[in-house]
Amino acid sequence: MHNMAALHCGTPACLSRAVPITPQSLGLSCSRSQHSRRLRAAVRTAAAPPYDGFQYMQLDLPPPLFSNVRKSAFVKSSTRVVDCPPDALPEFALIGRSNVGKSSLLNSLTSNDRLAKVSREPGLTKLINHYIINDNWHLVDLPGYGFAKAGKNNREEWLRFTKDYFISRENLVSVLLLVDSSVPPQPVDKQCADWLAECEVPFCIVFTKIDNRKRDMPTNAQNIRAFKQAMAEEWEELPRCFETSSRTGAGKSELLGYIASLREMHLRSSTK
């Protein structure tokens, strides 16, 4: 059973099942600085999602004071963490399978359709794309994982590439793990959630495309429930979850509010 509290306190995760690729199996153990650990502990102690029968991490967040996006701009694309912009601003990173809707969510959150390129084909470029919001925080688009034709090597490469970012980016407040609600649970998404927890990276789950009902398939609500159920079988508490659509704007203000609260908490923890 995964225990988020134990994981975030640095207790080694005891995985009872075989995970094909983990940071450990690749020799990529993660260790973070004191400040990052304090911040992560603070984020962990702060979420109150709607009641749906699942047990969530209890977070006691400050109110979202500045959640509106007034201004957004592309900053730069980096191929290595050392090339990223200075880490002075609080940062939120979007990750998920290719085509899950990362770029679309970025555009939706910023009400700026031209900010990130939305594509029908899974992108193969491995870039860390930084966007600055309201001149005072960053949204980051990371490469997607789990290409349809990708093998083990591709996943290993993705882990190595993103691991550097996760463990060395001091200002990373939270990862937004995007999961497509229009398809049944994909093992690779669950593995990614496990991996983030093992690396002690705080994250929330953002279900995407809730408008996109596929015919003759389980409903999006059923897919979401099945994903949470799969997590609940191994996790004592689930991370905070959001249900969004970049087409309709559903879930947008809730997610922006959550990000604003986390930024406020980040500010408080870094000025202590």
Ligand X SMILES: Nc1nc2c(ncn2[C@@H]2O[C@H](COP(=O)(O)OP(=O)(O)O)[C@@H](O)[C@H]2O)c(=O)[nH]1
Q: Residue from 77, 78, 168, 212 that binds ligand X (CB under 6 A)? A: 212
The nearest distance, CB 96 to Mg ion, in angstroms, is 9
Site string for ligand X, 93-122 (x = CB under 6 A): ---x-xxxxxxx-------------xxx--
- Number of DSSP helices (H) and strands (E) in the chain, helices first: 7, 7
CA distance 182 to 162: 26
The tokens 């940071």 sit on which residue? 23
* Closer residue to ligand X (CB): 49 or 96: 96
Q: Does residue 208 bind Mg ion (CB under 5 A)?
A: no
Site string for Mg ion, 91-110 (x = CB under 5 A): -----------xx-------
Q: Does residue 77 bind ligand X (CB under 6 A)?
A: no
Helix axis angle, 152-168 relative to 187-198, nearest 10°? 30
Give the residues across from 92 on adjacent strands.
139, 174
Find the residue with minimal CB distance to Mg ion.
Answer: 103
Site string for ligand X, 227-256 (x = CB under 6 A): ------------------xxx---------
* Closer residue to ligand X (CB): 76 or 268: 76
**CB neighbour class for 220 (10 Å; exposed up to 12, middle 13-18, buried from 19):** buried
CA distance 23 to 168: 15
Q: Are 241 and 205 in contact (CB under 8 A)?
A: yes
Interacting residues with ligand X (CB under 6 A): 96, 98-104, 118-120, 123, 144, 208-209, 211-212, 245-247
